Amino acid sequence: MPELAARDHLERLPQLLELAFEEAGKDRDDVDLIAVTRGPGLAGCLLVGVGVAEGLGASWSKPITGVNHLWGHIYAAMLTRPDLEPPLLGLVVSGAHSDLVRMPEHGRFEVIGRTRDDAAGEAFDKAARMLGLGYPGGPALDKLARTGDARRQPLPKPSLPGLDYSFSGLKTALLYRLRDLGEAVTAQDKADLAAAFEQSVVESLLEKLDTAMSGRPVSEVVVAGGVAANTLLRRRAAEVVAGRARLTMPPLELCTDNAAMIAAAGYFRNSPPHRVGRPGGGSHSSIEVDPSLGWD
């Protein structure tokens, strides 16, 4: 419900800001730069964010900078490891994206693989709904999968050639399996299906990561985005990358959407030696909101 989400942003942002200052023991004098998401996302929410940032920038006389939300997921890894530097290979898996990207240097991203239909998080959310779990379903499905056995209800692993993903066939397979089981479906069946679904998504994500690493070796790999909070993905990614590159996965609270990752992206993009142009300039800025922004 985009309108409600935008209104919630407007209502909650001021208190949230106060709370953040309070918890950090900081105030506006400690702020050097205000970073705000300019896209991708819901237009109304982005406009509220940019409006608030511009208001703060003007009243505090602070520069502001517009940040790409997807960049934020990668830069979250640099909050975990400040010594982490590109070039790196990134897998960003969220509610709207399943992107494999190469980051040759700060502020540059090349998409080498993406989903052709549902994003990984979206697939988890839809599967969770079929299994009668709440929204967002990813964390609930993760929890249920821990009590299941993927081998008892195997589901196909999506396999597109190249580095692109597709999860809609897997989703349909789950739907048909549940239909076949009908009224007889048990709680254990559901847990087994959750485990099987999770395994198929995770192995598909990592198969392409593995291919990308073999195609062009890298020394740093980042797996981030909301789905990177998934228990199985975290374990299996560590196994797949082990001995070939250094893997950084942000802690759970920095995987799902958060403001710290936007601050990190604003900071790394603007601090020397990576300054790529002056941000806002204090009293006035012209941050353009772009709901369908890619990796540009």
- Contacting positions for ligand KG4 (CB under 6 A): 94-96, 121-122, 124-125, 136-139, 142, 225-227, 229-230, 256-257
DSSP class of 273: T
Decide if 213 contacts 241 (C-beta within 8 A): yes
| Dihedral sign, Cα of residue 136, residue 139, residue 143, residue 145 | positive
Residue 248 CB neighbours (<10 A): 20
Closer to ligand KG4 by Cβ: residue 116 or 274: 116
Minimum Å gap between C-beta 268 and Zn ion is 17
Number of residues this chain uses to bind Zn ion (CB under 5 A): 2
Under the criterion CB under 5 A, does residue 259 sit at the interface with Zn ion?
A: no
Between 266 and 279, CB nearer to ligand KG4: 266
Which among 64, 13, 9, 8 is positioned nearest to 38, based on CA atoms? 64
Shortest Å, Cβ 182 to ligand KG4: 27
Identity of the residue, 139 or 266, whose beta carbon is nearer to ligand KG4 in the bound complex? 139
Tell me which residue of 237, 240, 213 sits closest to 225, measured CA to CA. 237
Residue 94 touches Zn ion, criterion: CB under 5 A: yes
Q: Which stretch binds Zn ion (CB under 5 A): 16-24, 134-142, 154-162, 252-260?
A: 252-260
Q: Name the packing angle between helices 231-241 and 137-145 (round to 10°).
A: 70
257 forms part of the interface with Zn ion (CB under 5 A) = yes
**Looking at beta carbons only, is 189 or 257 nearer to Zn ion?**
257
Q: Give the CA radius of gyration of the chain.
A: 20
> Two tokens at 87?
């070039």
Positions touching Zn ion (CB under 5 A) are 94, 257
